[in-house]
Amino acid sequence: MGAVASAALLFPLLGAVPPATAETPEAVAGGAGALQRQFAAAAARHEVPESVLLAVAYLQSRWDTHGGAPSVTGGYGPLHLTDAVTALAEAPHHAHGTEDARGDGSRSRRTATAAARALPKAADLPARLRTLDRAAALSGISAEELRTSTAANIEGGAALLAAAQRTSGRPASADPADWFGAVARYSGADDVATARTYAADVYDVIRGGESRTTDSGQVVRLPADPDIAPATEQVESLGLRTADRGQTECPRTVACEWIPAPYEEFGDGDYGNHDKAQRPASQSIDYIVVHDTEATWDVTLKLVQDPTYVSWQYSLRSSDGHIAQHLPLKDVGWHAGNWFVNAKSVGLEHEGFLAAPDSWYTEAMYRASARLVRHLARRYGIPLDRQHILGHDNVPGTLASTIAGMHTDPGPYWDWAHYFRLLGSPFTPTAGPDAAVVTIRPDYPVHRPVYTGCTAAGQACAPHGSGAVRLHTAPDDASPLVRDIGLRPGGQDSTTGVNDTGARASTGQQYAVAERRGEWTAIWYLGQKAWFHNPKARPTAVNARGWVLTPKAGVAEVPVYGRAYPEASAYPAGVPVQAVSPLPYRLLAGQRYVVGDRTPGEYYFAPVFDTTGHRVVRGQEEYYEIQFGHRVAFVRAADVRVSRA
């Protein structure tokens, strides 16, 4: 959960998701090729070109059924028919995480206003979150069937596309090029740029073609049509608004809007909701942090415009990939719960309001997010790897006391492998079978570890693809999960809870190999040896090269930190010395951890509204970022030696 965390704390962790015993999707029951035939039949019945229907569905869901689970904005099935009214009635927000989004004790904690915390009423939801009802009216199929039947869902989507073509005053042409305006309208976007970008993405899918095996085991193919030239001018006649790009710093490949977060003083030195800075001249931007909002788009915008709350740089909308920028990139948002990371990062909030942590994200949002991240990475020289592209759940606590309250979004169901393919930096093997480093990379659609707590504590979540592996104390499934003494100082075992990151390694994260035994691989993790199942027939990691560190000769253990702050002597008069407090973990002699950046100790002093006294304190002490557990951490360079693995 992102910076809107406090708004979610009022609600229990419950969700409207199918039980773990949900029936097999209808497409599987129909045998091989059933899903492809369903697309063909619906397209013919509603006189929609089959390639258009397939491409729209791909941009929404990549043709997956997700076992009947809704998306993060209440969208069901391959065509992402939205039924947010039902979702809001049955699924309150997440309740995990109690972090201070700013992550610096020099400022008081922020909470949202009562108006911002309120759940939206069904009547106030935009049409883009209620497309299932319209599909039911057009197709004559019940809402329940549209949610639960794959064939019905595709039929409803085809009916919506056909209606969009009629509304545009155009005939049901057999030529896919004549449907650009209808596709743009299907997106639900209310501005020209977003509608055009969405439709252009759909036609890019048609040009390049696609073929994949879905999460229901169905092979679906869309042949490439490289010469298609859609009538892009149709968007101009849809009567949509022109969004204000204003001061946005977005690539031209995304639809971006300027909706600024306020920098406002309240008196007695109190202010919100971000800090002015001069990045990258003052401090380098080294990280991009991926969040989900746990709020609808409208509530998300209301929160970031609340001067008494917190902020982040960008919000991304689920249904169509629309982006809003709230802060100039030179300024510091309050979003990650760790001031060192905030001062050196850009925060991306992805729309999602369902409590169900096994809800899924649309392809439109994945693609828009990847384009934005590629742009930011090029601009600031940020490596496209998991030491720099972090989930909020990878940001470390600042002190021992803050570890338990850190957030766990975007969670084990965010598809990091797909995201990095879109970034153009897929996770591939770079070393042989006896490599000293591994990159976690299970096969997302078929890798389905059991998680609990999506709908009720201890209850199994619906089966769902996952990019995370579970870590045990010994090479067998029956052994206990490894312990995280930061999360559980009493020494209790980690759990299978969907928000428990204590024994979890995620796709793209790299770890030093401690041992290999049969189908199991051990890695160094949180100061201990942690085993995960890694069979040759279905590997959950790939071998890699990399740099690793270990304690210097003669050093028995090395302290681990959640932030890389300068030594006390680096602070000038008038700037309070920030404690360099270790976390309750130790990196022991003989253990190795994969290295990220080497960075000088830095602290951005910005406790008041007047920026005159703001300054960056930079010390002589240097740190290495390491992949220590599920979250990254920092160790002093003087305590360790680095070598090529």
Q: 261 and 274 in contact (C-beta within 8 Å)? A: yes
pTM: 0.94
Instruction: Give the range among 95-109, 131-145, 366-380 with minimum mean pLDDT.
Output: 95-109
**CA 567/CA 637 separation, integer angstroms:** 13
Q: 270 and 317 in contact (C-beta within 8 Å)? A: no
Mean pLDDT of 619-644: 98
Q: At what angle do helices 34-45 and 50-61 cross, to 10 degrees?
A: 120
Q: 462 and 17 in contact (C-beta within 8 Å)? A: yes
The pLDDT of residue 122 is 66
3-state secondary structure string across 111-156: CCCHHHHCCCCHHHCCHHHCHHHHHHHHHCCCHHHHHHCHHHHHHH
pLDDT single digits (tens) 167-212 = 989 999 999 999 999 999 999 999 999 999 999 999 999 999 999 9
pLDDT confidence bin for 599, thresholds 50/70/90 = very high
**CA 181/CA 170 separation, integer angstroms:** 9
**CA 555/CA 562 separation, integer angstroms:** 21
**CA 606/CA 142 separation, integer angstroms:** 56
Q: Which residues contact 388 (CB under 8 A, 6 or more apart)?
A: 286, 287, 288, 377, 382, 596, 597
The pLDDT of residue 403 is 96
Q: What are the b/e assignments for 11-45, b being 16+ CB within 10 Å?
A: bebbbbbbebeeeebbbbebeeebbbebbeebbee
Question: What is the per-residue DSSP string for 419-463?
Answer: HHHHTT------S-TT-SEEEE---TTT-----B-SSSTTPBPPP
Instruction: Give the range among 97-101, 273-277, 508-512 with minimum mean pLDDT.
Output: 97-101
Q: Give the residue among 480, 451, 483 at the shortest CA–CA distance from 467.
A: 451
What burial class does residue 129 get, using C-beta atoms within 10 Å of its C-beta: 0-12 exposed, 13-18 middle, 19+ buried?
Answer: buried
pLDDT tops 60 at residue 91: no
